[in-house]
Amino acid sequence: MIGMKDSLVRFDQLIREIAAKEESRLRFKANVLVVSEIAQQYYCEKKVEMNRTHGEEETFEMKLGKEAHELLLKETVKVKREELWRKIYSGKPVAAREMLLLGKHNGVIIAGVADAVVFYGGFPIFLFEHKFSNKQVPFIDHHVQAELYCYLLHLMGWDTSKLKYALVIAPPKCRDDKELRKISSYVLQQPREEKLRVKLQTGNANIYINGFDMRKTINELDWALGFWTQERPAKPTTKIGKCAACQQFKEICESSLLRSFNLNRNTSLEVL
């Protein structure tokens, strides 16, 4: 674990690199990779590629590039960040919501915004990631996303040996439920690795508590980086249900599994 000053210097250095926008060796000339997009590679990597080639919306990476100057130079932003770091390093319990996390792995800058991180004793002990879906089970991309946030906390210099992460999955109608805010204190009271079910005002949330395994996370990240460093082409999903649900690209994607199946009109496909 490194000290507060070194951690802030490390953070500022990465912001500086993002702002400098140097020529990138990565696919699509990306100079920073975003955790949510890396996690989507585990849903369908072909879709990630097609989003990049067909998407027009401003990506988080573009936004971060624009905001890097503000993050770096605006005194108020800097002061706020230093205040948060000071609170964390004081050892008192701190719940940081929507915290920007940055790290460098094998020369590639990775960024992400974690829903909530709870620090205690000067290091992170719990990370919370919220998902809203009627299928209240976690999928591999949900785990990868939370694990990468945990790994970024390690890269930022914190001791993550006691870190756990909780995937909180609630139906979409619970999105504005005030009870969601109380979940972190509920989980902290019983932090065993297990599944919990919590009653909210508007429905029930499932909570899946997991230990952070750094080796596993690095392997997942290295696999994902193989696409960005152009060592291999995009890997399409092997699940036909995902192609059936892929509104944007199912008609134009050359890897769509629907092309090889003559679907019966009455067939309903589950996204697995």
Interface residue list for ligand SF4 (CB under 6 A): 44, 46-47, 50, 236-237, 242-243, 246, 249-250, 253, 255-256
Distances (CA, A) of 168 to 160, 192, 200, 271: 20, 15, 12, 20
Tokens of 222: 């290295």
Instruction: Choose between 164 and 242: whose C-beta lies nearer to ligand SF4.
Output: 242
Q: How far is the CB of 36 from ligand SF4 (least distance, A)?
A: 17
The one-letter code for the residue type at 119 is F
Q: How far is the CB of 228 from ligand SF4 (least distance, A)?
A: 17
Tokens of 239: 């699940």
Tokens of 1: 């674990």
* 108-120 and 123-132 strand pairing: antiparallel
Q: How far is the CB of 44 from ligand SF4 (least distance, A)?
A: 4
Instruction: Choose between 46 and 143: whose C-beta lies nearer to ligand SF4.
Output: 46
Q: How far is the CB of 141 from ligand SF4 (least distance, A)?
A: 13
Q: How far is the CB of 245 from ligand SF4 (least distance, A)?
A: 7
Instruction: Choose between 47 and 154: whose C-beta lies nearer to ligand SF4.
Output: 47
Instruction: Choose between 189 and 247: whose C-beta lies nearer to ligand SF4.
Output: 247
Distance between CA atoms of residues 112 and 99, nearest Å? 8
Instruction: Choose between 158 and 249: whose C-beta lies nearer to ligand SF4.
Output: 249
Alpha helices by DSSP H, the chain: 4-20, 35-54, 60-73, 75-90, 140-155, 183-189, 214-228, 240-244
Q: How far is the CB of 204 from ligand SF4 (least distance, A)?
A: 29
Instruction: Choose between 55 and 211: whose C-beta lies nearer to ligand SF4.
Output: 55
Distance between CA atoms of residues 141 and 245, nearest Å? 16
Distance between CA atoms of residues 101 and 88, nearest Å? 14
CB contact at 8 A, 138 and 100: no
